[in-house]
Amino acid sequence: MIRRNLARPLGRFSRQLPVVAVTGPRQSGKTTLCRQTFPNLPYVSLEPLDTRSFAIEDPRGFIHQHRNGAIFDEIQRAPNLFSYLQEEVDRNPVAGRFILTGSQHFGLSEAISQSLAGRIATLHLLPPSLDELARFGPLPEDLWGVIWTGSYPRIFDQGLDPNHWLADYTATYVQRDVRQVLNVASLDAFTSFLRLSAGRTACEINLSKLGADAGISYNTVRAWLSVLEASFLCLRLPAWHNSLRKQAVKAPKLHFLDTGLACHLFGITHPDQLRHHPLRGALFETWAVSEIYKSRLHRRLEPRMFHLRDAKGLEVDLVIEEGGNLTAVEMKSGATLAPDFFDSLKLLDGSLDKRRTATYTARLVYGGDQKRKQAGVDAIGWRRLHELDW
C-alpha cells in the first residue's frame, strides 16, 4: 500500500461531515485508500449477493448493524441505502461515521444529490499520478515505458504485465459495467466505438464523424461518450475563450485518463512502438493533461481546465483558469527544447484581453529532463512535472 495524495482531503472532510464518498474508475485504489485511512472502521463490501440482498431487503436492519460506522464498498449496488443513511445521520450526525466507495460515478451522483445533499463530501480518486507511482518503487526507465504502462496501481503493486492486465480490465470492467448501464446490444459496435474514441485522444471531438466511423447514430455516440466520461475513463476539455480578443473555436477536446488503456485499445503492445508512432505526440499530451488533472482533483481543487484553438490557427494544449489568473501549458514530446516549442504561448500572451486577465503564466512540459525558464516560459521535463504547483 502506498500513501495517496487524496488521503489528506479525505481525512479532513471526514472530520467535518458524517458521510464521505470516494468515487472513481474500477481498480483506481478506492478501497485500499479508505481502509488505510480508516483502519478502525469495519469494512463491508456490497459485491457479495448475500450482503447486497440484506442491504436491499432490510436497509434499516443493515444500517443498524453498522450504526457505529463503517466503510460501505460498491455502494451503488444498493442505491436504496442512501435514503436510510440520510435518516440515520440526521439522527446522529457524528463526523466521519460512514465512508462510501463506488465505481460507477453516474450511478452515485443522482442518489447523492437527492438524499445526502449537505451531509456528504464527494471526492474522486483516479489511478495514481507519477509522483504517487514512484512510491511503489522504480518506475519504467523512460517516458514511453511510463505512457505505455499507464498508472493502474495493481500493475505496479504486483509487477503485472500491462498487456494482459489491461486486456482483462477492458473485458471485465469497461465492457461489462458500461454496457450494463447503457444496455448495449452489440458488443462489436461498442468495442469499435471504444477503440475509435481512444484513437481520438488529444483531438477535438466531432460526434457526427465519430458516429459515422463507428456505424452508430449521433445520439448513441453522445450517450456512450457521456458514460465513458462519467465513469472516469475519459475527459472532455471545453474550449476556452473568455479573455481572447479573437474568435475561438468551441469544440471540446477528448483525453483518455489512462494512457496505458489508450495504448492497449490502439493495439500498441510494447513501449518501443511509441518512439516512432504517429500518435506519440497525442499520447504525450494526453498523459500530461491527465497528470495535471489528477494533481488538481486529488487536492480537491476545481479542475477549471480548457483547451484553446482560435479561428486564425492559434492553439494551446491546456489553459487553467482561476478567477482572473491564467496558466497556459503546451506539451511537446521532443526531448530537446526547440525555439518553436514556445511560439503558441507567446502568441497567446499577445492575444489576451489584459483587462480580464490578472496574471498570465506560461509553461511547457516536454519529453526531456531539464527545468529552466526560457522566453518567459517555465519549461520542465516530464519527470519533474509534479514539482510545479498546478
Question: Quick check: helix, strand or coil at residue 8?
Answer: helix
Q: Where in the chain is the domain with CATH 3.40.50.300?
A: 7-124
pLDDT tier at 245, thresholds 50, 70, 90: low
Q: Which residue has the higher pLDDT, 119 or 188?
A: 119
> Measured between alpha carbons, how far is 297 from 136 in angstroms, rounded to an integer?
21
Q: Are 150 and 162 in contact (CB under 8 A)?
A: yes
Average pLDDT over residues 20-24: 94
Cα distances (angstroms) measured from residue 240 to each of 249, 253, 308, 320: 8, 11, 5, 9
Q: Model confidence at 76, in pLDDT bands (50, 70, 90)?
A: confident
DSSP per-residue string spanning 315-344: EEEEEEEETTEEEEEEEE--SS--GGGGHH
CA 192 to chain centre: 22
β-strands 371-374, 377-381: how paired?
A: antiparallel
With 0-12 / 13-18 / 19 or more C-beta atoms within 10 angstroms meaning exposed / middle / buried, residue 137 is: exposed
Three-state SS at 17: coil
Strand order, beta sheet including 19-23? 43-45, 70-73, 98-102, 19-23, 120-124
| Nearest-5° Cα angle at 178, 147 to 176 | 90
Q: Identify which has the larger pLDDT, 315 or 187.
A: 315
Grid cell of 206 as nine digits: 466531432
Mean pLDDT of the chain: 91
pLDDT score, position 174: 73
> What pLDDT shows up at residue 375?
84
Kind of pairing between the strands at 253-256 and 234-237 = antiparallel
Give the residue-averaged pLDDT of 23-33: 94
CB contact at 8 A, 296 and 237: no
Three-state secondary structure call for residue 345: helix
DSSP of 147-171: HHH---HHHHHTT--HHHHHHHHII
By percentage, how much of the chain surpasses pLDDT 90?
Answer: 74
- Does this model's pTM top 0.85? yes
Superfamily (CATH) of domain 7-124: P-loop containing nucleotide triphosphate hydrolases (3.40.50.300)
Over residues 169-177, the mean pLDDT reads 80
Q: How confident is the model at residue 56 (pLDDT cuts 50, 70, 90)?
A: very high
The pLDDT score that the predictor gives to residue 108 is 67
pLDDT at 35: 97
pLDDT at 231: 83
Residue 204's contacts (CB-CB under 8 Å, 6 or more residues apart) are: 249, 251, 252, 253, 254, 307, 309
pLDDT category at 355 given cuts 50, 70, 90 is low
> What pLDDT score does 324 carry?
81
Candidate from 57-66, 354-363, 368-377 with smallest mean pLDDT: 354-363
Calculate mean pLDDT across residues 162-169.
95
> What does DSSP say about strands 315-322 and 70-73: parallel, antiparallel, or unpaired?
unpaired
Supply the pLDDT for residue 191.
86
pLDDT at 278: 94
CB contact at 8 A, 47 and 73: yes
